[in-house]
Amino acid sequence: MTFSLSAGRRPFRLLIAGATAIAATVLTVSAAAAAPAPADSSAATASSSRAVPQVQVQAVGLASTIALSNCSGSLARYPSSLDTDRAMMLTNGHCYEGGFLAAGQVLVNRASSRTGKLLNASGTAVATVKADLVLYATMTGTDVTLYRLNKTFAQIRSTTGLNALTISSTHPVDGHAISIPSSYWKTTYSCAINGFVSTLREDQWTWHDSIRYLYPSSTCQTIGGTSGSPIIDNSSLQIVGINNTLNEQGQACTLDNPCEVNADGSLTYTQGQNYGQETYWFNTCLTSTNAIDLNKTGCLLTK
């Protein structure tokens, strides 16, 4: 997982631009060892009877990203969010201030005082944002932490001029060009989606319908500190996922070495291959007032 170096992680294995791809190593294991079937990846939309304001779309870049102490993040909203709603901050589950969450662990409405630096398009910090609640966090099924901030979208925009990035309500599209703006490094990576992984495993954690990036790519060499960066579709300019991991040493299913679990139970892993997790799942769990209801029919988030 792509923590920053300052967080005490060992140095990240960087890729060399234009380097030849390292051949994938495939092992066969018992089919019984395979993880559960992936969640349904059909498109979903949030339902709400409230009027939804028109939001000006911003160009892909560092605007509205949030630099954390050990990771990247972003100022995020649902498609149905109102200006008067509390703003939200999106990052990875493994970026949670309490450390890695155990497999099967889910946090809902947990008090928080996490802070981050909100950046503008040039990467300059224009405000410090503060969370008061973890709305949802897990490293099971997906790898995400969504915080509620102590100010509304309107209050943040009035002092910074920045709009939140919208979490798309639809499944990402294979082959689409994407951008991954890292607030930690103040760098935007240019990538492309190269299919989806029904089951991705790393150490004790298993994720479903993960986003695989096109590899090798000289412009998509994500490194430590890029964890939590939003994955933005270059066509819609909306968040379709969140950057979270990379196979560093070419090992299978160990920490920092995710592997793909195939339908027959065999494993595929490629040194340097990087991945992200989908975020449209949030929209499948929202009530009419944008609260997260894990018991809602069709909700894809882990309970």
Question: What digits encode the pLDDT tens for the residues 267-280?
Answer: 999 999 999 999 99
Residues 131 and 173 in one domain: no
For residues 301 and 141, the answer to whether their CB atoms sit within 8 Å is: yes
Let me know if residue 292 belongs to a domain: no
Instruction: Among 164, 185, 211, give the residue marking a domain's end.
Output: 164
Length of the chain: 303
Residues 140 and 231 in one domain: no
What is the domain count for the chain? 2
Mean pLDDT (whole number) for 231-243 = 98
Mean pLDDT (whole number) for 164-191 = 98
Q: Which of 37-51, 76-90, 98-112 has the lowest mean pLDDT?
A: 37-51
Distance CA 88, CA 110 (A): 14
Residues 237 and 143 in one domain: no
Residues 82 and 157 in one domain: yes
For residues 152 and 65, the answer to whether their CB atoms sit within 8 Å is: no
Residues 91 and 146 in one domain: yes
Residues 177 and 141 in one domain: no
Does the pLDDT at position 58 exceed 80? no
Instruction: Tally Cβ neighbours within 10 Å of residue 56.
Output: 6
Does the pLDDT at position 32 exceed 50? no
The more confidently predicted of residues 292 and 45 is 292
Let me know if residue 48 belongs to a domain: no
Q: Tokens standing for 268?
A: 């595929």
For residues 281 and 39, the answer to whether their CB atoms sit within 8 Å is: yes
Does the pLDDT at position 1 exceed 70? yes
Averaged confidence pLDDT in the chain: 86
Q: What are the tens digits of pLDDT across the range 145-175? A: 999 999 999 999 999 999 999 999 999 999 9
Mean pLDDT (whole number) for 256-261 = 98
Let me know if residue 285 belongs to a domain: no
Let me know if residue 188 belongs to a domain: yes
pLDDT, position 60: 79
Let me know if residue 45 belongs to a domain: no
Residues 176 and 153 in one domain: no
Let me know if residue 190 belongs to a domain: yes
Instruction: Among 164, 186, 216, give the residue marking a domain's end.
Output: 164
pLDDT, position 12: 33
Q: What are the tens digits of pLDDT across the range 111-137? A: 999 999 999 999 999 999 999 999 999
pLDDT, position 2: 67
Identify the bridge partners of residue 74 per DSSP, sorted by sequence position.
65, 90
Mean pLDDT (whole number) for 222-233 = 97
Does the pLDDT at position 36 exceed 80? no
Residues 124 and 89 in one domain: yes
As to burial, measured by CB atoms within 10 angstroms (0-12 exposed, 13-18 middle, 19+ buried), residue 170 is middle
Q: Which CATH number goes with the domain that contains 227?
A: 2.40.10.10
Does the pLDDT at position 29 exceed 70? no
Mean pLDDT (whole number) for 238-263 = 98
Residues 183 and 273 in one domain: yes
Residues 175 and 276 in one domain: yes
Distance CA 284, CA 223 (A): 31
Does the pLDDT at position 39 exceed 50? no
> What is the DSSP code (8-state) at residue 215?
S
Residues 135 and 173 in one domain: no
The more confidently predicted of residues 49 and 303 is 303
Does the pLDDT at position 49 exceed 80? no
Residues 178 and 235 in one domain: yes
For residues 59 and 65, the answer to whether their CB atoms sit within 8 Å is: no
pLDDT, position 4: 55
Residue 230: band (very low, low, confident or very high) from pLDDT cuts 50, 70, 90? very high
Does the pLDDT at position 54 exceed 80? no
Does the pLDDT at position 245 exceed 50? yes
Tell me the pTM.
Answer: 0.84
**Residue range of the domain that includes 256:** 5-30+169-280
Let me know if residue 82 belongs to a domain: yes
**Paired sense of beta strands 72-77 and 165-166, if any:** parallel
Let me know if residue 38 belongs to a domain: no
Instruction: Among 164, 198, 229, give the residue marking a domain's end.
Output: 164
Of the chain, the percentage scoring pLDDT greater than 70 comes to 81
pLDDT, position 156: 98
Distance CA 228, CA 221 (A): 15
